[in-house]
Amino acid sequence: MPWDGAGVARGLEALRCEVARLLTPAGHVLWTEALAGDGPGAPVPGGPGGSGGPSYGDGALATSSEESEADRTRLIALVELARGGDAEAFGLLYDHYQGSVYRFLFYRTRSAPLAEDLTSETFFRALRSMQNFRWQGKDFGAWLMTIARNLATDHFKAGRTRLEMTTEDMGQHDDTTEGPESAVLASLTNEILLKALTELPDEQRDCLVMRFLQGMSIAETAAVLGRSDGAVKQLQLRGVRNLAKLMPEGLRG
């Protein structure tokens, strides 16, 4: 699940391209066809495996989204140790997932201090609830993201700050690309795109952040949102369509 800066940049570029396509003729057809697959920028989720603790009886449902079989096995084993009370194992899980959780919360809050606080609270709640964690076919990282998303939602419901996406540290990508959408894409900067993301309904925005900026698969995103894979595809479609509608008039074809 964790992506580096290059992964985020690739995801953002993919999202820009999808919006640009919808701003040009035949864009709706291109996007609908793309939804037949798992979409751009998403890693291939890992299969089940690993060692389920005998006291829980859910080992057969253990899964991880890591690409490497060795990493999947290692992380599943760490989860098993952590829910058995191994503090060192939980510390290693923190090291692995902290970056992804923080980035998601930073995109949600625009505030580094707030994202740091909510990240700490996410892992505190996870640690407190480790014995209650059950695989149920859900990746441990998706479980953490669910906690983080709920914390962010609760924070904004309390009215302590206005929900925004960040444009900080996101360089503008103005290079043109081949295809009918190249002229639109040249004018569609990351700043414009990220500002428009703040205006989407919460669930659509979260879906696009997880799918494109976090690099999460449809299955992982569905697990966090509590939706089916098909519902996530529709959320993604509606989110990109609504982004296109939010673009400045001069960008619309």
Q: Domain segments of the chain: what residues?
A: 1-41+165-190+212-253, 44-163
Q: For the beta carbon of residue 198, count every other beta carbon within 10 angstroms.
A: 17
Q: Select from 75, 84, 56 the least CA-distant residue to 142.
A: 75
* CATH number belonging to domain 44-163: 1.10.1740.10
Q: Kindly report, residue by residue over 129-162, the tens digit of the pLDDT.
A: 898 898 877 789 989 999 999 998 888 776 544 4
Give CA torsion, residues 101, 102, 106, 111, to 10 deg. 140
Q: Kindly report, residue by residue over 69-92, the tens digit of the pLDDT.
A: 888 899 999 999 998 888 899 999
pTM of the predicted structure, to 2 decimals = 0.60
Query: Hey, which residues does 63 pair with through a beta bridge?
Result: 48
Crossing angle for the helix pair 27-34 and 229-246, to the nearest 10 degrees: 160
